[in-house]
Amino acid sequence: MKYLLLLLSLLPWMAQAKPDLARVMGETLIERGSDFYTFKHFDLPSADGQRHYRVYLAIPKQAAPTSGYPVLYMLDGNAAMAALEDQWFRALPETPLLVMVGYAGERVINAPARTLDYTPAPQTGQPLVFQGRMAGGASAFLQLIETQIKPHVEAKYQLDNQRQSIWGHSFGGLFVLNTLFTKPQSFNRYIAASPSLWWQSGLIMEIEKQLPADVQAQLLILHGELEGQAHKGREVPKERAAAMRAVGADAVPKMLKRLAAFPGLQLGYQQLPGLGHGPMLPASIPWALKVATEPLAQ
């Protein structure tokens, strides 16, 4: 109950937030100080040298349990770092180690880079929804996480290999689902906030068919009550609007119904009241923290 009250207390100011692609990080918990964490970061380039990543690490001040820290990998790492609030951790049963994968620089959202890194490869002959932006780099980005970021973190900190979680919002949520469907062994727990199911007119629903029958994982999908509703002064590009219509407003419940056929996949769904797409990024993080720190089932 304490945890739910905390979440509800955060919703009023989150509901008023609007996405701002030019916003910079400003003061974060790194500068303000945390009762729960110390912070470090390391940088690395993409395989093609075109993108430069900054990976923020939030290392718990408490000693690791015998099984190791639960770990939460977070996409849009700059935005995640900017959003973190110390009060979120007070109600958790444990303090997870956070790996926030962002981009070099102070901008909260790097739209061109995340469009490339978080989206699966488009189908041949299908026009891109975002003309002028490169896309389809999800496989390469997952390889970067698996071969460079994970080994770096695992070499330095004791982690619980049965509680490894990943969270992402929007295109990040799409990446989370794509990873679950194609490489489900990569993580144990998946949190997809406002996943962009409309990408390439629902390509992720085709990718979903790759999910192996013996999958063992946990998935939580979060969605804002006001997502998909028109916003005054904001017009959805016609290509994106057409893709959203092709997928349908009931795409999430239909997906959950299909996924319920997998006995080893533990499913959850949460709709957050009064929130649109952009505010779902910070609002979904406390839910991800809760999932990441849940004890193993006995």
On whether residue 249 sits in a domain, the answer given is yes
**109-117, Cβ contacts within 8 angstroms, sequence gap of 24 or more:** 109/19, 109/21, 109/23, 109/76, 109/78, 109/79, 110/78, 111/21, 113/51, 114/75, 114/76, 114/171, 114/172, 115/171, 116/51, 117/46, 117/51, 117/141, 117/175
Q: Is residue 247 part of a domain?
A: yes
What is the pLDDT at residue 204? 96
- What φ, ψ does residue 94 adopt, rounded to 5°? -145, 165
Specify the pLDDT at position 191. 99
Which of 116-120, 131-135, 233-237 has maximum average pLDDT?
116-120
> Can you give the pLDDT at residue 125?
57
Phi, psi (deg, nearest 5) at residue 288: -65, -40
* Per-residue pLDDT at 122: 78
Is position 298 within any domain? no
What CATH number does the domain containing 163 carry? Answer: 3.40.50.1820
- For the ranges 23-37, 117-131, 176-190, 247-261, the lowest mean pLDDT is seen at 117-131
CA of 10: how far to CAs of 192, 206, 268, 273, in Å? 20, 36, 21, 12
Q: Which are the catalytic amino acids?
A: 170, 227, 277
Flag whether pLDDT at 282 surpasses 60: yes
Q: Which of 2-6, 59-63, 293-297 has the lowest mean pLDDT?
A: 2-6
* Confidence category of residue 4, pLDDT binned at 50, 70, 90: very low
> Quick one: how far is CA 205 from the chain centroid?
18
Domain region containing 209:
2-293
- Using CA of residue 6, residue 297, residue 158, residue 178, what is the dihedral sign? negative
Strand order in the sheet with 69-74: 37-45, 52-60, 97-103, 69-74, 159-169, 189-193, 217-224, 265-272
pTM: 0.90
57, pLDDT greater than 70: yes
236 vs 121 pLDDT, higher one: 121
Q: Does 11 fall in a domain? A: yes
Instruction: Determine, yes or no, domain membership for 270.
Output: yes
pLDDT at 8: 40
Q: How confident is the model at residue 21 (pLDDT cuts 50, 70, 90)?
A: low
Count of the separate structural domains present in the chain? 1
- Residue 91, classed as helix, strand or coil, is coil
Q: Is residue 39 part of a domain?
A: yes
Q: What stretches of 46-158 adopt beta strand conformation (E)?
A: 52-60, 69-74, 97-103
Place of tokens 């002028």: 132
pLDDT score of 50 more than 80: yes
d(C-alpha 177, C-alpha 196), whole Å: 10
* Listed ranges 121-125, 129-133, 230-234; the one with the highest mean pLDDT: 121-125
- 29 near 86, Cβ under 8 Å? yes
Query: Would you say residue 123 has pLDDT above 80?
Result: no
> What is the rounded CA–CA span in Å between residue 43 and residue 31?
19
Instruction: Identify the pLDDT of residue 228.
Output: 72
Are the beta carbons of 42 and 75 closer than 8 angstroms? no
Query: Does the structure show a pLDDT above 70 at 7?
Result: no
pLDDT level of residue 297 (50, 70, 90 thresholds): confident
- Residue 17's pLDDT is 43
> Is 15 domain-assigned?
yes
pLDDT (0 to 100) of residue 248: 77
**CA 177, CA 199: separation in Å to the nearest integer?**
12
Both structure tokens of 125: 């002959």
Q: Is the pLDDT higher at 50 or at 5?
A: 50
